[in-house]
Chain A
Amino acid sequence: MNQKSQHNTMAPDSSIVSPFLKPGTVTKPHGLAIVQLSRDNLVPVYLQDTKGAHDGYAEGAVVNTRYGSFPHSTLIGVPWGSQIRASNVDTGSRGRKRKRNIGDEGGNEDAEDGAGAKQANKEEVEGNDEQVLPKKATTASSGFVHVLPPTPELWTASLPHRTQVVYTPDYSFILHRIRARPGTRLIEAGAGSGSFTHASVRACYNGYPLSDTDRKGKVFSFEYHEQRFQKMKVELSSHGLDGLVHLTHRDVYKDGFNVNGVSPEAEAIFLDLPAPWEALPHLSRSRPASKQSLGTEENPWVSPLNPRKSAHLCTFSPCIEQVTKTVSAMRRLGWVNIEMVEICNRRIQVFRDRVGLNLPVERGANLTPANVMEAVARQAEIEERFKEHARSGPSTGEMEIDEDVEADTKDGEAIRAAAAAAGYKVWKEGKLITKGEAEVKTHTSYLVFAVLPREWSEKEEAAASARWPCGGEEKVIGALNKEARRREKQKVHEGQKKKGAKKSMEGAAIAALDVPCKPDGVRAS
C-alpha cells in the first residue's frame, strides 16, 4: 500500500509501483506477466484487455504456444501462479492472413512462441478500435500454462536478448558483494539488454522519489548503442521503473558518469564493458592524473561517487587480458581489496534410477541385474536349464539355448506383472540420484571486485581527533596478551580440577565451543 507516497510522484506514469516490486495478488490488464509454458520456457506477455477481435482472433489478443492458445482475457484478473487452461480460439480471418505458432514440432519452436507473443502485443497497441466485444473463450480439452508475476530472475530468463546478459548466479553474487541495498545509488554500464538493471533496481529500491530533491536508491545506467538505448527506455517505462532508473545514452569511456553535470553520488558500480580500464579514471574521488583535460577552472571536475561512503565496484570481463589491464588500472587509481573470482554455477537434476531384472517394463527402467546376487541367480538358472536340456536330448545348439533364455524372460515378465499388481509405484521406485545438467556453463566472465575508500581531509582528521582525544584509555580490548591468556587458562584449569572428573573437562570444551559468537569483547587489562 504504497499508494500514498505515489500520488505526488513526479513522473505521471510512476503512479503505480512497478509490478517487479509490487505485483499485487492478481494479474492486471496492461501489466507484465511471465507465462510459463514449461520449465525453462518462459514468455513475457503484456496483458491486453482487448475491446474486440484482434489480429484475426475473435477472442481478442491471444498467446499462442505449442501447448495451446491462450486469449489474454483468460490470463487477466487471475491470482498469480494460476494454472490456465488452453482455449479453442476462433482464428476467423486470421487463418488466411498467416499461420504460425500453433506448431508442435518442439525444439526451437519455443523461441518463436516467445517472439510471436511479443509481436502480437505490439500489433495490438497499433490499432484496435473495433467496438465489437471479444468473443468469450471456450476451454480446450487439453493444454495449459502458468502465469507468474515478473521478478528479475524470470525476466532474465525470458527477456528479449539484444546482447549477452548477466545471469542470476553472477548478478546475485555481484549485488551482494558490491553492497547494493535499499537506498544505494548504483552506476551500471552498459545497460545492454537490461538483465542486470532489473536485478539492481530491486536491490536499491527504497521507494520512488517524491521530488527532485528526494534522494532515494537509484540505478544510473549508461548505454552508447542508440537502438539498445531506445529499446531499453521503452522497456523501463512499461515496467514502471522510470523513477528508479536513470538511463543515459552515452559513451562512458569518453564522457564519464555524471548526469547533466550532477554527480549520481554512487556507492556501488558495475561495469560490463569491453574496456573497463577506460572508464575507471572517471570513477575517481578527485581529478585523476590521466584526465587533466577534464574539468576546468570554471567547470570543476565532479566525482560521480558518493563523497561520504566507500565505493564498491565490480567489473565483468570474459577474458583474462581484460582482467590484467583492469586490475593494473585499479591499483594505480587507488582501489583497494582487489579480488578476482569466477562463478561456477551448476544446476542439478534429480532422477529415480531403476535397475533390476524383476522390474515391470516401463520407460526409464533399466532391466539389467541390480546387483551381483541377481546376476548370479539368473546365470545359475540358465545353467540349470542348459543341463536339463542336455539331459533331455542328445544334441545341443545355440538356437535352443536362446529359446531357453527367452523362456526366462517370459518368466520375468510374469514376475513383473505380479509386481505391478502388487502396486508398483513408478514414482517411488528405484534409488534417488542426482547429477549435473546435460550442458554446463563453464565460463561466464571474470568478476573483479574493488573498494575505493572515501577521501579524508586533514581538516576532517583534525575535527575527529579533537572530538576523540587519545591518552585517556582505560581498558584493553581485542586480543589478550600472552600473560592474560595464560592466567585465563590457569583459571579454567583450576575450575576443572575442583570438579575433579575428566568428564567435566570435555564438558567445558564443548561449552567453550558452544558459546554463541562471543566476539572479542571488553576485558580488563
Chain B
Amino acid sequence: MYSVVQPNGWVALRLPSDTTKVLQVIPNTTISLGKYGSFPSNLIIHRPFHLTYELEDKREDESYCRLRVVPPSELYADVIAEEDEAQGCTTPGDQSDKILSATDGVEFSLVDDDGKVIAKSNRETIDDNARQTLTMEEIEELKREGTGAGKDIIAKLLLSHTALDQKTSFSLAKYKLLKTRKYIRRFQVLPLDVPLLGKWMLEEKDAMRVMEMRDEMIGLVGCWANVHYAGEDVTLDELNASRRGATNEEVTDEDRLKGLEEEVKPIDGRWLVIDDTSGFLVGAMAERMGILYQEEEEIKEQPTEQAVQASSEIKAENDTSNEIDQTKPKEQTAEQAVQVSSELEAENDTSNDIDQTKPELRKLALPKKLQPRSHDFQIPYSQTNTITLLHAASQPNLSFLTYYGFDVQNPNHPPHPLINHLLPLTWLQLLHPEKDSAYTTPPPHLPQEKLTAMKTNRRGGYHRKRRRYARVRHIVDSARAGNFSGLAVASTMEPISILQHTLPLLAGGAPIAIYSPSIEPLSELADCFSVARRSAWMSPETAPPETIGKTAAELERWEGNDDFPLNPTLLLNVMIQTSRARRWQVLPQRTHPVMTDRGGSEGYVFTAFRARPAEGRVEARGKHTAKRRKVGEKSADASAAGTPAPTEARVGGHS
C-alpha cells in the first residue's frame, strides 16, 4: 500500500455524517464534499493517509478553501476532558480555548432529538415551551458568517449554558454526536484497500455485488484456503531450460505446441478461484498474495518528472511505470508504457501489443526476468503465486479491480502484477476445451519474408493472435492438469456442482473454503460428506455398483449420481462456521455494544481439506462414540476451537 495519496489514485473520504465518498484524486480539480464544502485535489495529493482535515474558510485573496490538519488532541478534547473530570483533575488553560463563551450577543438554541429546546445561550432557565430549532437557513447563515467553522456553533450551543448540567451526560453525548456530525466540516482520507472497499460496498453502496461478504468472512476464507504469497515468479522457460532463447524461426510451431503441452508441470502456489463478487474475492486473494498493489517506489522524496524520461535502465523501470500510471491521462499511459517496454522487446517485434509481453515489474524480480520474449509461444505467466479464475460468462467480471489499476479487458495493459499472475478461463474451456474456438483454432503462421513485408500494425495483429493462442493453451492445459494448492469460492452457483468438477483438480491436502451468504447450499454440500454417506459409499451393499472394483484414482473422477453427488471420501475435516464482529462504543461510563448494525445475510464459510483415500476398503477403529467430553472440560488437544467430541450423526467424524 502506498504511504501517501497518489495522483490519480483512488481514495475514500470519510465525512462527518459517517458516509464514505470514493473517488479518484485527479490533480488540478476541485473535490466537492457536497454540503460540507469543497477543496482543491492538489491539497491532498502526496499527503499522508488517515489524517483528519477541516475545511477552512476561504481567505480573502484566494478562490479556494485550504485544509487544516485537526490534531488528535482536538478530536478527542471532549472525551479527554470528561475523563479528567471524572478523575477529579481540573484541566487548566489548555481547555479554555476550546470552550467558547457565547457572549457575542447571538442567541442559539440547543434542541434534542424531538426538537425540544434544552437550552438557549442567553437565558438562564430551560424554556420548555420554546420549540425553537435551528432551520437550515439559520445554519447556512451561521456558516457564512464565517467567524468559525461548524464546530464553533456546536461549542457555543453545548458549552455556553450551565443548565446543561441538568441533562445526564448520556443523553447529552447522544445529542452532541448527532448534531456534531451534521455541522462539522471535517473529513478523513483513507486508502481504498480491500477491507475499505468491502465496508463501503456493504454498508453504503451495494451489498449484493459483494454477496454481502463481510470482513469476518473474507478473513476466514483467506485463512482457511491458506492463501498467501507463494514465492518468486518462475517462468516455464526456467523450468525447461532447453527451449529458452530460440527465436520464432528456429523452432516450428508444431514443436512449440508440443513443447507447451509437455511443459505443463504444475508446481505449488496455484489457487483455483470462483468469484461472483465482481472481482472482490480475487482482489482480496491478490492482496494476500502480494499481487494487487503496484510497488510504490521507496521514498524518493519527490519523484521528479525527469525520472520519467530517464529510464532505459531496468531498475528505473519500476518508478517510471508508476509515474506514468499515476500522473498521466490514460491514453498516454498506454503509449508510454509501450515505449518503455519496447526497449525490452525483441528487435524483430515491433507490434504495439504489450499485452502480457512485459515480464512483471516487481522490484523483487531478477533482472533476467526482464529479458525480452524470444518467440510468440513463450508463456508470460508465472508458474507459481497465481490465481486461476473459472468464470461462467465469456469474460470474467472483475470490475472492482479497476480501483487497483487492473482491467482484464485491456489488451494494452500498463504494467500490473496481476497481468502475469491471473489466469482466467471459462467452465467450457475447463470441461470441454474441444468445443472452445479460442482453444482449438490453430494460430496463423507466415514465413519470415511475408512478415517483413507486412505493415507494422498488421504484423502486430499477427503476433498478437499467436500469443493469445499460446496463452489460452497454457491456461487451459495447466488448469486441466490440476494439482492446485487451494480452492476459494464465492459463487451464486451450486457448490456441489462446483466441487464435482474442481475436487479432482486439487492436490492432496489442499484446503477448500467456500463462502455463501446463506447456509442452505453449504449444508447440502456438507451432507454429501456425512458419516452415513461415507459408510454407505464404503459398504459393498450400498456402494454404487459402478464404483466396485475401481481404483482410488478412478474414483477421484466420480461424476456423481443421486445417492452420491460427490465421492464422500475426497474431503476431510468438513466444517461450516459463521462469524460476526459485534461493535462496541467505548466512552467513559458509557461503554456498551452498539445498538444497531447491518442485518441481512449472516454469511457462512464451508471449509475442508482434500483427502487422498487409500486403495480399497478401509475399516475404522476406535470407540469414537465413547463418552462425550463434558462441556467446559479442559483438554490440551485439538478441541482447541471449543468443539465437542464428534457425535454420531455429525458430518465429518472419523470412519
Contact = CB atoms under 8 A, between A and B. Distances in A.
A84 B614 contact: yes
Contact of B612 (A67, A83, A337): A83
Nearest to A152: B223
Interface string A1-38: 11011000000000001000111110000000000111
Interface in A156-194: 156-158, 160-161, 165, 167-169, 171-177, 179, 181-183
15 contacts: A17-B231, A105-B623, A107-B629, A114-B638, A172-B222, A173-B581, A202-B228, A203-B228, A335-B72, A348-B577, A425-B542, A464-B47, A477-B24, A517-B399, A519-B24
Contacts of B63: 471
Given A337-B50, A520-B21, A477 B29 contact: yes
A323 B614 contact: no
Q: SS class of chain A's interface: helix, strand, loop or mixed?
A: mixed
Interface string A125-164: 0000000000000001111101111011100111011000
Contacts of A427: 530, 532-533, 535-536, 563
Interface in A466-503: 467-481
Interface string B293-323: 0000001011000000000000000000000
A341 B581 contact: yes
Top 7 nearest A-B pairs (CB, nearest first) are: A106-B626, A80-B509, A182-B290, A81-B508, A38-B654, A172-B219, A143-B621
B534 to A, nearest CB: 8
Which residue of A156, A203, A346, A473 has the most chain B CB atoms within 10 A of its CB atom? Answer: A473
Given A25-B483, A438-B647, 10 more contacts: A21-B230, A81-B509, A83-B613, A106-B624, A158-B637, A173-B216, A332-B76, A441-B642, A473-B29, A477-B29
B572 A157 contact: no
Contacts of A5: 231-232
B619 A141 contact: yes
Interface stretch (A256-264, A369-377, A450-458): A450-458
B239 A463 contact: no
Interface stretch (A230-238, A349-357, A393-401): A349-357
B519 A346 contact: no
Nearest to A214: B364
Contacts of B640: 40, 156-158, 165, 167
B25 to A, nearest CB: 8
A428 B563 contact: yes
Nearest to A461: B47
B644 interface: yes
A513 B208 CA distance: 11
Contacts of B193: 179
Contacts, number: 473
Contact of B267 (A1, A147, A338): A1
Which residue of B73, B228, B511, B610 has the most chain A CB atoms within 10 A of its CB atom? Answer: B228
A345 interface: yes
Given A176-B195, A478-B21, A439 B651 contact: no
B653 A171 contact: no
A86 B621 contact: yes
Contacts of B62: 471
Contact of B619 (A142, A183, A343, A434): A142
B41 A477 contact: yes
B582 A341 contact: yes
B49 interface: yes
A308 interface: yes
Given A23-B268, A456-B51, A346 B611 contact: no
A199 B219 CA distance: 12
A470 B64 CA distance: 8
A172 B29 contact: no
A140 B621 CA distance: 10
B638 A41 contact: yes
A88 interface: no
B216 A207 contact: no
Interface string A80-118: 111111100000000000000000111110110111000
Interface string B628-655: 0101110111111111111111111110
A348 B79 CA distance: 41
B530 A352 contact: yes
Contacts of B205: 517
Given A439-B632, A467-B46, A479-B21, A22 B230 contact: yes
Which residue of A336, A447, A470, A521 has the most chain B CB atoms within 10 A of its CB atom? Answer: A470
B46 A172 contact: no
Contacts of B268: 22-25
